[in-house]
Amino acid sequence: MTLTRDIMTPAPRCIGENDALSIAASVMSELDVGALPICGEDRKLKGMLTDRDIVVKALAYGMDPETTPSRTLAAGVPVTVDADDEVHVALDRMRENQVRRLPVLENRKLVGIISQADIALALSPESTGVTVEHISRADTP
């Protein structure tokens, strides 16, 4: 039995909920990632922020990246998985919600992230292919 903690990238870097979008963009550039968890001072997950969110939801609507806090783009409840859940639970959630990155929680605190790359490194090519196909599929009417 493989648990989500077995394949996750541990101790992900968070962007603070009060940090400006410009700081988030700098951290993404520094880490060469396209998404960051948004965390409160209690290390609890408040949402996820992607590079696309910054461009499409903030810059395109005239938000100032120097003064707009990251929490502004933390809409809805993030899709998560528990560190002790079996991997198939994570894969199902990623497929159902079409998310490429899944925060991993333990005692309601962020302890890791599972990405498509983590899946590709840890699981069979078949599992990886099916998951990526479902995540990437555009909704059709």
Integer Cα distance of 115 and 102 in angstroms: 6
Integer Cα distance of 27 and 120 in angstroms: 24
CATH topology assigned to domain 4-136: CBS-domain (3.10.580)
Residue extents of the structural domains in the chain: 4-136
Q: If 0-12 CB within 10 Å is exposed, 13-18 middle and 19+ buried, where does residue 120 land?
A: middle
What lies within 8 Å, CB to CB, of 128 at 6+ separation is: 116, 119, 120
- Reading the chain (141 residues) residue by residue, the pLDDT tens digits are 889 999 999 999 999 999 999 999 999 999 999 999 999 888 789 999 999 999 998 988 999 999 999 999 887 788 999 999 999 999 999 989 988 899 999 998 999 999 988 888 888 888 778 777 777 765 544
CB 7 within 8 A of CB 85: no
Q: How far is CA 137 from CA 47, 83, 94, 103, 117, in A?
A: 23, 26, 12, 21, 17
